[in-house]
Amino acid sequence: MILPADQLGRAKKWDGSNPKDLVEIFKSMEKICLENQGVGLAGVQIGVDLDIFIVKKGENSFFDAPFGWFVNTNYEPTYKSKRVKSKEGCLSIKNSLGELVFYEVNRYDQIQINGFIMKEDGSLQEFKLNISNQSFIFQHEIDHNHNILISQIGEEI
């Protein structure tokens, strides 16, 4: 079940314990994301207060699986990045009819992300990459883990 925005907490860094449990959480997150036609989902959105999220594979993704499983991840703008407007919805922010509410959010068009990507066997691979493709999705999900919502930083449209 996806929690509404007013029930989301702040994520804490994953300490490396019980990787097999985390694999099961990621698999559950994939199912929830697909059922809700999402492109990403943070752990805090399902009541897991760990710094984890998933992103659906897009064109030119740097990961091979249908979803990337990310752990303890941060971002910062690259030296070439510009702020651009992004139209975003969030599975945790819906109107009284249960429909997504959309916001216009200023995002960086290019970011450097660093952290870990988890494989299905529970192993972790550290990474540090500059990305432009899907950068808005990564910013959105990482912001969730820092208790930052599009309703706080964007304008409803």
Q: Could you tell me the residue ranges of all domains in the chain? A: 5-76+111-147
Evaluate if residue 62 carries a pLDDT over 80.
Answer: no
Contact assessment for residue 111 and residue 78, using Cβ atoms and an 8 Å cutoff: yes
Which of the four CATH numbers 3.20.20.210, 3.40.50.300, 3.90.45.10, 1.10.3720.10 does domain 5-76+111-147 have?
3.90.45.10
Q: 146 pLDDT exceeds 80?
A: yes
**Nearest-angstrom CA–CA distance, 42 and 37:** 14
Q: What pLDDT is attached to residue 61? A: 74
Output the pTM of the full model.
0.94
Q: What is the mean pLDDT of the chain?
A: 94
pLDDT of 133: 84
What would the pLDDT profile of 25-61 be if each residue is shown by its tens digit?
999 999 999 999 999 999 999 999 999 999 999 877 7
Instruction: For residue 100, count other CB atoms closer than 10 A to its CB.
Output: 16
93-114 pLDDT, tens digit per residue, is 999 999 999 999 999 999 999 9
Q: Tokens for 154?
A: 């964007």
Torsion (CA) 49, 14, 28, 148 in degrees, nearest 10: 40
